[in-house]
């Protein structure tokens, strides 16, 4: 194994378990004699080009375990997308500090970043291994059965809808919850995760994998409301019309884009307000409420899937093992091999980089407004153990005396 | 003790522990030989006048324990506010079913309801005991140190802000979280509950107990952003200008009111959007995000304070004991008698009914944008045990080589 330093950085949106991967890398890398130091960059690649690095070798195991439990990127994150000039800057820093192992924890944007940096290093004949460690609540990385961060966010969304369903049962009306997810509907679909009784909501689920039509939506709501006397709706922030235009941006005065060209959809209640206003206006239903889950769903303190924690730690550890024992660059991918067990493989960066996986057709109900039993089978083991239980009153009705 | 039936109902907004009180009443009432049946009304007083009752005597203990853990009113709730005619209808049903003990679990609106029903029964010479069992996430009942439902909602809000703070630290910017609370700021103030480091948010907290000025707000944000390079803001949905007009309703095209004349503030993202738009427009800060916690905060499945669960069960049990052993109507109130211990008393209904407690001045910082250590001392024991822990990276910086 080549002697040299390890550098780890975190990119993209934070998750509840991204620090598990950070700690997995640090703890595993410490065991290798060829690694003299493990550096961490502040705010992803932006910290690298500023040489804003910390010496993570000098963390205690006790603090590392606390950091692992801490939601959101402990080293800070970035939305920067490096171009060639940016990569040249990164490489200068890697060379200057004799960094030979570079781990970047992130989503498909971040995997593309590491691919570019890695390719650039090859051109410069700088011997290094670059490993992408998967992370995204969107669950949209190719090849992976699922991605670290998604199960915990899914648990939050499932719990939120379970509570909203019970709340709405107590005070009936229409409730719309808007969930993160630009192109992939996995997280919105997780709204169904803790349905128990037949009449439990969400009764309608709208995913970006299907075109959204306001007319069909209002028909669906009317039908469900007629059937249940109430209606719970899960809508992805990324729902769009036939032309591909996001419903949320139809309203926005000015559209905000990040460095990757992604339109900003979260951090505003506009879509929920549009949907609830439409229901009130067109269907004449009075009690209509909308919540936008926003940033609560990705870094909530106290809602986490133990399966997710374990796997996020493992992808970090496996990344180091692949780097040291295999010596090749790549992306760590998660593969479901049993019901329920996973294994980790090192896959080619270009198979994941800048690509988006969406929900397969067999996960989406034929009415385009629900998930299938196949999706529930896929989701359930990810939500983790110790899920809260709940019940309904089962008592018989009291015979009426006055109003027989 | 007078022989007769028990009737229990739940009113107002659901909470995470309102079913603990329901179960406390049912389980305690079962122990009294003079009680032959325990009835529950669907959807509060509205179910009573419809004679829509269930025989809760026929629940199993196992299911009752599951119901106790279930968030949101298991019997359903209502926003109805009975007038004299309504009370006459209620009384007819009570008399027809020989109901002599009436327990209504709810907030100050609900305590007023039971007071009216009870007074009406006296006028009709119908011998009965009416007990109000406290419940409200707003924590705004007079006499009570705090109210069941508040500690769990406070735990949700504190956890949400702890996560949002960490998320915002990873990707710096301005974050506004809008919290429920029409007149009382307790729940918004709970946003500070899990701050740990000096630089942890929320950095600014806006309560309905103080007049809100947009100019001061923008100055505050500018100062905090300058100091921390980011800013987390907790704002009550009930913040209002000097004239008392809610900032949220300044925007609303049409204002929705419930039967109690309360303006509908939740279920829309308008206030968060107004505040974030103002910050973007006036301060020129680019990354500004707003979330409205909405209905997530009062019935979230899986976030609950064990202190709250215990106390909510006890107020139900104590209510039955007061009714049976004392034979007098009243409201069960919670009194803090040690650090930390409470006792329960039966207080006069008129001391709680239709009144609102707000935060005392010693809980609000002199800059009108934070809470005091006294409030933190008040809040901490309520949040319960087993709170999640988190930490920060403590590593030393790596000396720069390129950019010395």
**Is residue A73 situated within a structural domain?**
yes
- Contact call for residues A401 and B51 (beta carbons, < 8 A): yes
Is A46 a member of any domain? yes
Burial letters B19-52, b for 16+ CB under 10 A, else e: bbbbbbbbbbbbebeebebbbbbbbbbbbbbbbb
A142: CATH = 3.40.50.450
Is residue B112 domain-shared with residue B166, that is, in the same domain?
no
Q: How far apart are CA A81 and CA A11, in angstroms?
A: 10
Q: What dihedral angle (degrees, nearest 10) is formed by the CA atoms of A226, B72, A159, A234? A: 30
Chain B residues 196-215 with a CB less than 8 Å from chain A: none
Of A55, A389, A396, the CB nearest to B54: A396
A377 and A269 part of one domain: yes
Whether residues B238 and B307 fall in one domain: no
On the 0-12 / 13-18 / 19+ scale of CB atoms within 10 A, A13 is buried
User: Nearest CA to A135 among A74, A193, A177?
Assistant: A74
Kindly state the tokens that stand for B5. Answer: 């039936």
- Same domain? For A294 and A191 the reply is yes
User: In this model, does residue B82 exceed pLDDT 90?
Assistant: no
- Residues 24-53 on B with a CB inside 8 Å of A are 37, 39-40, 43, 50-53
- Give A 359-378 residues with CB within 8 A of chain B: none
Question: H or E element: which one contains A122?
Answer: helix A108-123
A226 CB within 8 Å of a chain B CB: no
Which tokens belong to B237?
């949905």
Q: Is residue A30 part of a domain?
A: yes
> A138 an active-site residue?
yes
Predicted confidence (pLDDT) per residue in B136-152, tens digit: 999 999 999 999 999 99
End-to-end CA distance of chain B: 85
Together in a domain, B54 and B111: yes
Report how far residue B332's alpha carbon sits from residue B347's, in angstroms, rounded to the nearest whole number.
6
Residue A354, pLDDT score: 77
The per-residue DSSP string of B234-292 comes to EEETT-B-TTS-BHHHHH-SS--B-TT-PBP-SS--HHHHHHHHHHHHHH--S-EEEEE
Full DSSP string of A330-391: EEEEEEEEETTEEEEEEE-GGGTTT------GGGB-TTSSSB-HHHHHHHGGGG-S------
Best to test chain A binding among B39, B57, B296 (most A CBs inside 10 Å)? B296
| Inter-chain residue contact A166 with B93, CB threshold 8 Å | no
Are residues A314 and A241 both part of a single domain?
no
Q: Are residues A233 and A330 in the same domain?
A: no
Are A38 and A22 within 8 A, CB to CB?
Answer: no
ipTM of the complex: 0.94
Over residues A360-369, the pLDDT tens digits come to 999 999 999 9
Domain that holds residue B64: 4-148+303-351
Q: How far is A351 from chain B (nearest CA, A)?
A: 27
B125 and B45, same structural domain? yes
Say if residue B216 is in the same domain as residue B97: no
pLDDT, tens digit, for every residue of A302-339?
999 999 999 999 999 999 999 999 999 999 999 999 99
Q: Walk along chain A (404 residues) and give the pLDDT tens digit of each residue.
A: 899 999 999 999 999 999 999 999 999 999 999 999 999 999 999 999 999 999 999 999 999 999 999 999 999 999 998 887 888 899 999 999 999 999 999 988 788 888 888 888 988 899 999 999 999 999 999 999 999 999 999 999 999 999 999 999 999 999 999 999 989 999 999 999 999 999 999 999 999 999 999 999 999 999 999 999 999 999 999 999 999 999 988 765 555 666 666 666 666 788 998 999 999 999 999 999 999 999 999 999 999 999 999 999 999 999 999 999 999 999 999 999 999 999 999 999 999 987 899 999 999 999 999 999 999 999 999 999 999 989 999 999 999 999 76
Do both A272 and A261 map to the same domain? yes
Across A208-243, b (16+ Cβ under 10 Å) vs e yields: bbbebeeeebbebbbebbeebebbbbbbbbbbbeee
Q: Give tens-digit pLDDT for B257-296.
A: 666 666 666 667 889 989 999 999 999 999 999 999 999 9
Which phi and psi angles does B189 have, rounded to 5°?
Answer: -60, -30
Cβ–Cβ gap A67/B393 under 8 Å: yes
Cβ separation of A301 and B388 shorter than 8 Å? yes
Q: Is A401's CB within 8 Å of B51's CB?
A: yes
Residues in chain B: 404
* B204-206 β-sheet, strand order: B204-206, B231-236, B174-179, B288-292
Size of interface A-B (CB pairs under 8 A): 289
A267 touches chain B (CB under 8 A): yes
Rounded Cα gap, residues A21 and A69, in angstroms: 11
The verdict on A241 and A376 lying in the same domain is yes
The structural domain count of chain A equals 2
Residue A209 DSSP one-character state: T
The predicted model scores a pTM of: 0.95
- Catalytic residue positions of B? 138
* B162 shares its domain with B272: yes
Residues in chain A: 404
User: What CA–CA distances, in Å, run from A317 to A103, A163, A314?
Assistant: 11, 36, 5
Distance CA B291, CA B278 (A): 15
Which residues in chain A touch residue B266, judged by CB atoms under 8 angstroms apart? 289
A293 at the B interface (CB within 8 A)?
Answer: yes
Contact A241, A211 (CB under 8 A): yes
Residue that is written with structure tokens 């919670």 in the block: B334
Among A45, A54, A170, A252, which would you mutate to test the B interface (most chain B Cβ atoms within 10 Å of its Cβ)? A170
């Amino acid at each position: 194994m080549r002697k040299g330093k390890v550098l780890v950085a975190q990119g993209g949106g934070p998750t509840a378990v991204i620090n598990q991967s950070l700690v997995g890398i640090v703890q595993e890398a410490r065991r290798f004699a060829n690694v003299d130091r493990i550096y961490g960059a502040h705010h992803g690649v932006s910290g690298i080009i500023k040489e804003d690095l910390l010496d993570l070798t000098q963390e205690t195991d006790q603090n590392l375990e606390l950091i692992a439990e801490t939601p959101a990127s402990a080293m800070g994150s970035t939305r920067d997308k490096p171009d060639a000039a940016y990569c040249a800057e990164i490489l200068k820093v890697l060379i200057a500090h004799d960094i030979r192992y570079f781990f970047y924890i992130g989503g498909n944007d971040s995997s593309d970043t590491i691919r570019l940096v890695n390719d650039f290093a090859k051109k410069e004949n700088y011997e290094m291994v670059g490993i992408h460690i998967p992370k995204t609540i969107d669950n949209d990385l190719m090849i992976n059965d699922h991605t670290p961060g998604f199960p915990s966010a899914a648990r939050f969304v499932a719990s939120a809808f379970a509570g909203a369903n019970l709340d709405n049962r107590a005070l009936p009306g229409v409730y719309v919850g808007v969930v993160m997810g630009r192109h992939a509907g996995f997280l919105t679909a997780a709204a169904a995760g803790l349905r128990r009784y037949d009449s439990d909501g969400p009764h309608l689920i709208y995913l970006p994998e299907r075109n959204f039509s306001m007319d069909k939506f209002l028909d669906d709501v009317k039908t469900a409301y007629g059937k249940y006397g109430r209606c719970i709706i899960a809508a992805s922030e990324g729902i769009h019309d036939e032309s591909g235009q996001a419903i949320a941006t139809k309203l926005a005065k000015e559209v905000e884009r990040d460095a990757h060209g992604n339109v900003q959809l979260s951090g505003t209640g506009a879509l929920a307000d549009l949907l609830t206003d439409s229901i009130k206006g067109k269907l004449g239903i009075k009690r209509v409420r909308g919540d936008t889950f926003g940033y609560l769903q990705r870094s909530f303190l106290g809602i986490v899937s133990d399966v997710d924690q374990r796997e996020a730690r493992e992808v970090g550890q496996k990344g180091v093992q692949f780097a040291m024992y295999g010596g090749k660059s790549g992306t760590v991918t998660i593969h479901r091999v049993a019901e329920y067990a996973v294994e980790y493989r090192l896959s080619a960066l270009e198979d994941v980089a800048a690509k988006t996986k969406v929900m397969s057709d067999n996960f989406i109900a034929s009415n385009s407004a629900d998930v299938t039993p196949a999706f529930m089978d896929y989701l359930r083991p990810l939500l983790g153990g110790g899920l809260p239980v709940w019940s309904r009153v089962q008592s018989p009705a009291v015979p009426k005396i006055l109003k027989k």
